[in-house]
Structure formats: C-alpha cells, structure tokens
C-alpha cells in the first residue's frame, strides 16, 4: 500500500473518530429532535424544536443553571 492510500485511510478514520454526522443522519434529523444538527435544526428549515419539556405552563419557572 502506498503512502497516499495510508494517508487517506488515516484521514477517513480520524473523521469517524471525531463524531462526524453522516448524510443519512442529516436527512433524518427530525428523528433526533434532541440533536440540533444543522443551522435550522433539519433540512426542513423550520427553526423550532419539537421538544416539549418547556411549555406555557412552566416557562415562567425557568432559572439560570
């Protein structure tokens, strides 16, 4: 195996080790609402979270942690 291939394999492995988000995960980002993976949350571009822990009934009780 020549040095070019060794370098490409090393770079590919380094990318996987650092937790790169795959294209498939980006396409299905709405299935992981706890992970905001793009600027708008997903490719739909809606820019709001589907999470529901905070709502009108408890928003006033929020405190800086």
Which structure tokens are listed for 27? 């396409």
Confidence check: pLDDT of 64 > 60: yes
Condensed to tens digits (0 to 9), the pLDDT of residues 4-54 reads 777 767 666 555 555 788 999 999 999 998 998 888 988 888 888 888 899
Q: What is the pLDDT of residue 29?
A: 92
Q: What is the pLDDT of residue 62?
A: 93
Region 51-60 average pLDDT? 92
CA-CA-CA-CA torsion sign (7, 8, 9, 10): positive
* Residue 41: C-alpha distances to residues 19, 47, 59, 62, 64 (Å): 18, 6, 21, 23, 24
Sequence spans of domains, the chain:
19-48
């Amino acid at each position: 195996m020549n040095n070019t291939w060794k370098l490409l394999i090393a770079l590919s492995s380094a990318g996987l080790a650092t937790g790169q988000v795959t294209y498939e995960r980006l396409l299905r980002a709405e299935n992981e609402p706890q992970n905001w993976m793009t600027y708008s949350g997903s490719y739909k571009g809606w820019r709001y979270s589907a999470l529901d822990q905070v709502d009108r009934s408890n928003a006033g009780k929020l405190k800086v942690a």
